[in-house]
Amino acid sequence: MRVRVLYFGVLKDLLGAERDTIDLPGQSTVADLLAIIEARKRTQPGLWKTIAVAVNQEYVLSAATLQDNDEVALLPPVSGGQEEARTDVG
């Protein structure tokens, strides 16, 4: 089967692409897909543990099983809205 993968934020820069298509054996899980992507391109340690995954625009757990033609989005920690000062006062 084949899934469509979307990269956002810092992942897009690190992987050098916004989207990808990846072939997988049937019954593959989200974790299997992440292992394939990680093996292709080494990034900083710990990055993958912060990533959330959405399949067809719904957050899923890493054990979720993928289907042919799924849209899988890899989402770094989100930073919408207005930035809260972390070290400044006020």
Handedness of CA 67, 69, 70, 76 (dihedral sign): positive
Kindly state the smallest distance separating residue 37's Cβ from another protein, in Å. 9
Q: Could you please report the per-residue DSSP string of 26-50?
A: TT-BHHHHHHHHHHHS---TTGGGG
CB of 26 or CB of 90, closer to another protein = 90
Tokens 């399949």 map to which residue?
55
Residue 18 in tokens: 């916004």
**Binding of residue 77 to another protein (CB under 8 A):** yes
Kindly state the smallest distance separating residue 79's Cβ from another protein, in Å. 4
Binding site for another protein (CB under 8 A): 6, 8-10, 13, 30-32, 34-35, 38, 48-54, 57, 59, 61-62, 73, 75-88
